[in-house]
Chain A
């Protein structure tokens, strides 16, 4: 195998594919490598940890077609270290020779026969506007759990909802729901649970793409992205099996208490007051007529108070939240204003945006004395 390509393009595909590569290779050392296949003047770089597979394709000048597996991190570091310009990679036997200008590296390859054979994606292809999907995913992925002890919660539920697509994620402390009315990905009543890690990677590669093509298989889902100014990327992830918690029962039809406040003003104030919410101390919100008071007290450190103008209807109430979760919800909401709806100080509160009913962030309060 021998091909030639610009350094920045090569680094791009290696980095993208490398994000699916496991750190240590685990039981299958070849998975610490990235598979390179040069053919028909195209280079396909593939990284996989068996759960997530990322395949990135660019045009290159192929002199001799072939395939190899090279250590992912090492090859990226080598290419990154080179000067801008053409890079040539030639594989002979079990050695890949990387040449650029006067620099030359010889890298021992990994056994290509050990690299898992990845089946072509199955399922019917549907297209979704990439910017809508990226915006929706950014609003929900943050609420997914990173704790492998509860694998169901590490996924984002994708479900058909009134002809569109609903995205739901929760870590049991907060829950984010986003509706994409114009995205028809799933059939009526269909739902899948997609690992949030894979969707985080998808957000990264969506970039300037206009559309993302989705193919839903029996056990996996594939996203094909072709940004106008970059490499084509195909991301395949195994679906999570299991029943997502029944989140609908947590969202009452109406709330007696409702606060509306400027989003940026609220966000800035929460960030300021959070400075005094140390050692897992919650941030308290006192909701009263046309006013919102934020307070944080950390024993032996100090306290912070801030009052904001707000529109409020309901009974005077003090409710406390984990400040990081509250900030994440306000950040994810778009629009000039946000609305915080509560039942009481111990029941989940709902944060909505003034821009419409498509986004909802449910947040569990923290019990305070």
Chain B
């Protein structure tokens, strides 16, 4: 990542023509070739930018960024105040609070959320069309496949239905029942699931994490 703070003029020529008059700005050149020009405001959005892949040529008059689509960005540098470069490495990606993986982990640790006497067989239980989130045994020893989502939509019910169809072919498991567990389950998804005999469970992320709510409730 190269960060340059400079007084510059910018001219873009591509889908339209745009000109940024002379001012002090941050020029950001990312490792993948993206170039973005930021003012000191406006949150995340650059004043001008060129997505990778790009070709960057630096000459006496400034920088010229060109893309295969025929766009060009000319940055005329008048004065450089700072020019630093840093290796950031590979980014692990955005991890949103309450993602499915964490819900799966929490639920696997606390099977009583699904039913008293339930036991975990395995997380990411394999089928020939992909792994189902949890495979469990209920209090009577019956096999239960659990699909976990943050938002329970019809797609998720269809996905679990496909897993159940595959798992039911295994004589060691058959009959396999299904649980569709999500922080929020859309009414249509609930109707579809229940019409297929799949139980719906709404997950309370705070409760699974052992966080007591501030507001007291009756039950």
Contacts and interface: CB of A to CB of B under 8 A. Distances in A.
Interface of A: 26-27, 50-51, 148-151, 170, 172-175, 245-247, 250, 346, 348, 362, 364-367
B218 A151 contact: no
Contacts of A247: 218-219
Contacts of A27: 154, 188
Contacts of B183: 149
B149 interface: no
A303 B191 CA distance: 48
Contacts of A348: 218
B202 A366 contact: no
B185 A149 contact: yes
12 contacts: A26-B188, A148-B186, A149-B183, A149-B184, A149-B185, A151-B190, A172-B217, A245-B218, A245-B219, A346-B216, A362-B218, A365-B216
A27 B217 CA distance: 36
Interface in B174-195: 183-188, 190-191
A173 B202 contact: no
A204 B203 CA distance: 35
Contacts of B188: 26-27
Interface in B196-219: 202, 214-219
Given A50-B191, A149-B202, A245-B219, 4 more contacts: A51-B187, A246-B219, A364-B215, A364-B218
Contacts of B202: 149-150
Interface in B59-100: none
B218 A170 contact: yes
Contacts of A175: 218
Nearest to A50: B191
A151 B188 CA distance: 13
A26 B153 CA distance: 13
A156 to B, nearest CB: 16
Interface residues of B, number: 16
Q: Which of B154, B186, B202, B218 has the most CB of A within 10 A?
A: B218
Contacts of B187: 51, 148
A364 B216 CA distance: 7
A173 B218 contact: yes
A367 B217 contact: no
Nearest to B194: A241
Interface string B130-162: 000000000000000000000000100000000
B214 A367 contact: yes
B203 to A, nearest CB: 9
Contacts of A250: 218-219
Contacts of B191: 50
B218 A172 contact: yes
Contacts of A149: 183-185, 202
A174 B217 CA distance: 8
Contacts of B217: 172-173, 364
A172 B217 CA distance: 5
Nearest to A149: B202
Given A149-B185, A149-B202, A366 B218 contact: no
Nearest to B192: A27
Q: Which of B154, B184, B217 has the most CB of A within 10 A?
A: B217
A61 B154 CA distance: 45
Nearest to B217: A172
Contacts of A170: 218
Contacts of A364: 215-218
A366 B190 contact: no
A143 to B, nearest CB: 10
The 7 closest A-B pairs by CB, nearest first: A172-B217, A149-B202, A245-B219, A364-B216, A364-B218, A172-B218, A149-B184
B215 to A, nearest CB: 7
Contacts of B184: 148-149
A365 B218 CA distance: 9
B185 A366 contact: no
Contacts of B215: 173, 364, 366
Nearest to A27: B188
B156 to A, nearest CB: 15
Q: Which of B185, B191, B215 has the most CB of A within 10 A?
A: B215
Nearest to B184: A149
A172 to B, nearest CB: 4
B130 to A, nearest CB: 25
Contacts of B190: 151
B76 to A, nearest CB: 49
Contacts of B219: 172, 245-247, 250
A365 to B, nearest CB: 7
A51 B190 CA distance: 13
A148 B190 CA distance: 10
B13 to A, nearest CB: 43
Nearest to B182: A149
A367 B212 CA distance: 13
Contacts of A151: 190
A8 B85 CA distance: 73
A365 B214 CA distance: 11
A172 B154 CA distance: 28
Q: Which of B154, B183, B187, B188 has the most CB of A within 10 A?
A: B187
A26 B154 CA distance: 12
Contacts of A173: 215, 217-218
Contacts of A246: 219
Q: Which of B188, B191, B202, B219 has the most CB of A within 10 A?
A: B219
